[in-house]
Amino acid sequence: MTGLIISANEIFDGVKFHPQAQLVVENGKVVTIEATDGRATEHIDGIIAPGFIDLQVNGGGGVLLNTHPTLKGVKTIIAAHRQFGTTAMLPTLITDTVEVMTQAADAIALAIAEDVAGVLGIHFEGPHLSVAKKGAHSQEFIRPISGAEWTILSRTDIGQIKVTIAPENVGVKDIKRMVSLGIKVFLGHSNADYATTQAALDAGADGFTHLFNAMSAFTSREPGMVGAALLNDQAVCGLIVDGHHVDYASCRVALKAKPVGKVLLVTDAMSVVGSDIERFAFFDREIIKTGTRLNSSSGELAGSALDMASAVRNTHKYIQQPLGIALKMASLYPAQYLGVADRIGQLQVGAQADFIALNKELVVIGSWIAGN
Is the pLDDT score of 320 beyond 60? Answer: yes
Q: How confident is the model at residue 299 (pLDDT cuts 50, 70, 90)?
A: confident
pLDDT at 13: 99
pLDDT at residue 234, as a whole number: 98
Which pLDDT does position 298 carry in this prediction?
84
CB-CB contact of 144 with 107 (8 Å): no
Q: What is the mean pLDDT of residues 1-13?
A: 91
Mean pLDDT on 127-156: 97
pTM score of the predicted model = 0.98
**pLDDT tens digits, 237-268:** 999 999 999 999 999 999 999 999 999 999 99
| CA atoms lying within 13 Å on the CB side of residue 351 | 23
Radius of gyration of the chain (CA): 20
Longest alpha-carbon distance in the chain:
63
Instruction: Check whether 44 has a pLDDT greater than 90.
Output: yes
State residue 2's pLDDT score: 67
* DSSP labels, 142-200: -----HHHHHHHT-SSSSEEEEEE-TTTS-HHHHHHHHHTT-EEEE-SB---HHHHHHH
For each of the domains in the chain, give its residue range(s) and CATH number, in order of start: 4-49+350-368 (2.30.40.10), 52-338 (3.20.20.140)
125, containing H or E segment? strand 121-125
Q: pLDDT tens digit string along 87-137?
A: 999 999 999 999 999 999 999 999 999 999 999 999 999 999 999 999 999
CA–CA distance, 47 with 181 (Å, rounded to integer): 39
Give the pLDDT of residue 1: 47
Q: Is 268 a catalytic residue?
A: yes
φ, ψ at 302 (rounded to 5°):
-135, 80
Mean pLDDT of 55-71: 98
Cα–Cα distance, 225 to 238 (Å, whole number): 14
**What pLDDT, in 10s, does the model give residues 262-287?**
999 999 999 999 999 999 999 989 99
Phi then psi for 161, rounded to 5 degrees? -95, 130
Name the active-site residue from 242, 268, 307, 354: 268
Compute the average pLDDT of residues 4-8: 98
Burial of 343 (0-12, 13-18, 19+ CB in 10 A): middle
Question: What contacts 336, CB < 8 A, 6 or more positions away?
Answer: 261, 345
